[in-house]
Structure 1
Amino acid sequence: MLAVTVAGLSGLLAIPARAAGNGQVFVVQGLPGRTVDISVDGRTVAQGVKATEVAGPFTVTAGQRKITARDAGKVVIERMVSVGAGSNLDVVIHRPVAPTAPPVITTYVNKLAAVPTDKAALRVAHDAAVGPADIRVNGKVLFANVANGESLDVVVPAGKYSVDIVPAGASSPVVLGPLALPVRAGYLTRVFAVGDPNVKTMTVAVATLRLGSTGTGKPDQVNTGTGGQAADLMDRGSSSAPLVALLIAGALLALVMVRKVVRR
């Protein structure tokens, strides 16, 4: 099992203020076996970036920006990427499905919307040299038929999850994992599967971003009994509000009726 600890996550980063007309860029190094230098518009911004490391954030002017990666002075890849004003962007350098083909760049816009205080945002991106895959969380397929260069986002309760990747529609072979992934409340955790399973270089790059929070979170205790029904209602959130209101109204009505009987 490949364990990913909190200490190993690339930067529990607070979101910095952004000037109008600028964007924030992270560069994810998804080429196992290489160490590269990164430049933006010809200006070197990071040197000696190893596989699975996440460089940044770099503040850049919105528009078309040229991202270049060099290994020992030789250009590995050079591409233009579009950066929106006020955006926060992951630029991933990785292999396409064909492992012998030249590297590619895929960009993902980070969604920085606030989450409930007991929840976390999670993105899993498929940037490995393998065909469409299913991503399983705690043994169940959460993201199905994800192609190279695609990603999916979900808001989940904070906690530790077991994540593995298998070919789409199959239960084996497991091409990555299972890995223990801690997902921290109030953060966006970004997971990038990179490498080539045929040469046993499959691994992940992981990074986090601090988000805002909404609400007051779920109570630590609900002192209404020992059954699972109350916890189930709490987990459903606002969708169960009408049912909760109905139960409370029913309980109050029953109490009124009991008092009437007692008075008689």
Structure 2
Amino acid sequence: MFSLTGKSAVITGGGSGIGRAIAKLFAKQGAFVHIIELNEEAALSVTKEIQADGGLATAHGCDITNQQKVLDTFATIDKVDILVNNAGIAHIGKADTTTEADFMKLFEVNVKGTYNSLYATIPLMKKNGGGAILNMASIAALVGITDRFAYSMSKGAVFAMTLSVARDYIGDKIRCNSISPARVHTPFVDGFIAKTYPGQEEVMFDKLSKSQPIGRMGQPEEIASLALYLCSDESGFVTGCDYPIDGGFVKLNN
């Protein structure tokens, strides 16, 4: 089950964290993995890990906010069976404390970047008879979270785009779903805590962990396992759905 043998999978932001875990798992399951990453050095590092384990992978340095560069990158890939829109950035701030520059940066990366990859991928999938698209949304798209105004905006847009794509291309055998993680323990989280709460790292890590009713943060590999299901043939009857993977955050925080 969950074999991706013979499939070509594109993963944006696959150089670290959740994207890295997805790239490694998909390669293990037989996919040829294409990592699209602004940090090409990080992408190359992951592809070397995959190749060392006997998998197939290649790295593509690309700024997903630049549509022409995205189109040029996808032109070198040609066949896309799976797209995982994972690349994204975070931000802290309310509506009246978020600068226009920060708002637009979140929009450019999280919203336009996702759109650019969809714009490049869908014609290839239509030509090849279908495919599976997975967008990385967030619990911030589903519930109100303090100080996450621009981030919530961007992930709400990703959630809405998921539904539109699922509806518009169902006749082309293109499925589109999204995952909405709560906090996941990645190097980004460690860096965020160190930068935002210097000297309080241990206390804040514990506090953020316990904001999930299950009492801990998720692991990138747990998100990757759900991604594998949603991009495999075993989920062929699933489209237009969002999957919170959140340790009970959305439903049990009462």
TM class by smaller structure = under 0.3
TM-score by length of 2: 0.26
Bigger share in helix: 2
User: Larger Rg: 1 or 2?
Assistant: 1
TM-score by length of 1: 0.26
Bigger share in strand: 1
